[in-house]
Amino acid sequence: FQHPAQVEDGVAAFDALVVSGIAPQDITTIGDSAGGNLAIAITLALREQGKQGPGGVIAFSPWLDMENQGETLATNNDTDALITPELLEGMIAGVLGDTVDPKTPLANPLHADFTGFPRLYVTAGSVESLLDNATRVKERAKAAGVDATLSIGEGQQHVYPFLAGRSDLVAEELEKLAAWYRA
Active-site residue numbers? Answer: 33, 128, 158
CA distance 59 to 74: 22
Residue 77 is which amino acid?
Answer: N
φ/ψ (deg, to 5) at 59:
-130, 115
Question: Closest by alpha carbon to 18, among 32, 29, 30?
Answer: 29
C-alpha distance across the termini of the chain, in Å = 36
3-state class of 39 per DSSP?
helix
Alpha carbon distance 30, 40 (integer Å):
8
Q: How many residues does the chain have?
A: 183
d(CA 124, CA 61): 5
> What pairing do the DSSP bridges indicate for beta strands 119-125 and 56-60?
parallel
Sheet holding 56-60: strands in order across? Answer: 28-32, 56-60, 119-125, 148-153
